[in-house]
Amino acid sequence: MDLSLVISLYNEEASIGELVDWIGRALAGEKSPAGGPLSYEIILVDDGSTDGSWKVITDLSATHPEIRAVRFRRNYGKSAALYEGFAAAEGDIVVTLDADLQDNPEEIPEMMRMIRQEGYDLVSGWKKKRYDNVLFKNIPSKIYNHTARRVTGIKLHDMNCGLKAYRKDVIKNIEVYGDMHRFIPYLAQQAGFTRIGEKVVHHQARKYGKSKFGPERFIHGFLDLETIWFLQRFGKKPMHFFGSMGILTFMIGAVIALVIIINKLVCQAHGLHFRAVTDQPLFYLALLAVIIGIQLFLTGFLGELVSRNSQERNCYNIRERIR
């Protein structure tokens, strides 16, 4: 199989048929690397739609043998849908796009060429000109992407673009869960797939229905960004974070407490006026810092125990073997 198209959808009955036809036109005439016609599959993941989406998919599958489909019992979110789609994908190249007709399937052949000929592991779309609400989507998206570039070090203008192309190895070696579909390029980079490219893609205005995502997704996105950064950096070595913070906090508290006590003893020895140690609020703050430092250190220690007993403590992506 040359190509797998993974499409997650939720209540998109009006656009599914049009999208499938559009994909067929966009890929007509494309050739397989072996020289024959391009072989591809369309994997539609119905994320618990409550409209007639599944009936449309069922009807389409009768006349389009390239269609495969999965239906969730309820709405689990885009990451869950992509996870199931990735697990089912058999193509050497996997492309994701949204079902709302805002992603243009005619971009797919060029993205495939970038992977095959230019050696990219992943090609992400960049909606340079967007047809979304400026206040609630465009501006927050620019802020979010700027933050994502600073945190991850990946220079993509639109990390959350739904239109992406991957080598098969990429999607088989990452796990997408929660809302981590926003950070697939970062997950891929951390798994060792560092050849990440970008292509300006044509963005379409929404034709049917309305967006399923509200402004709160940007708040969740920032929180998820911090979570994934922490897990990727300290997930297998929590003591490096909690232990370091604990030692630093403990030392600051201990030094302040010692300074207060020594200052009191020196003043007392020279007959100078002094305040009792227990009358100084700073002393109690120092004790609090000592206690917090100990707790952070113990948190790191417990994290190490959990990490060392995890089944994934020695999960590594192997690129090649000889014998």
pLDDT tens digits for range 12-28 = 999 999 999 999 999 99
Lowest mean pLDDT segment, chosen from 6-10, 51-55, 222-226, 260-264: 222-226
Predicted confidence (pLDDT) per residue in 122-137, tens digit: 999 998 877 665 555 6
CATH number at residue 10: 3.90.550.10
Residue 163 lies in a domain: yes
Q: Starting at the edge strand that comes first in sequence, how are the strands of the sheet with 122-126 ordered? A: 67-71, 40-46, 3-9, 93-96, 164-167, 122-126, 196-200
Same domain, 140 and 280: no
Report residue 223's pLDDT band, with 50, 70 and 90 as the boundaries: confident
- Give residue 34's pLDDT band: very low, low, confident or very high (50, 70, 90): confident
Mean pLDDT, all residues of the chain: 86
- Segment 207-212 mean pLDDT: 69
Q: What are the tens digits of pLDDT across the range 261-306?
A: 999 899 888 888 888 888 899 999 999 999 999 999 999 888 878 7
pLDDT in tens, 59-118: 999 999 999 999 999 999 899 999 999 999 999 999 999 999 989 999 999 999 999 999
Query: Which of 188, 205, 234 is the last residue in one of the domains?
Result: 234
Residue 317 lies in a domain: no
Structure tokens at 153: 């070090």
Judge whether 321 lies within some domain: no
Claim to verify: residue 33 and residue 174 sit in the same structural domain: yes
Tally of domains within the chain: 2
Do residues 87 and 196 both lie within one domain? yes
Residue 56: domain span: 3-234
Q: Is the pLDDT of residue 323 over 90?
A: no
Write down the pLDDT at residue 159. Answer: 85
Radius of gyration of the CA atoms of the chain, in A: 27
pLDDT score of 240: 85
- 252 and 226 in a single domain? The answer is no
Q: What is the DSSP letter of 202?
A: P
Q: What is the pLDDT of residue 217?
A: 63
Contacting residues for 161 by C-beta, under 8 A, at least 6 apart: 124, 125, 126, 127, 201
Beta pairing, strands 67-71 & 122-126: unpaired
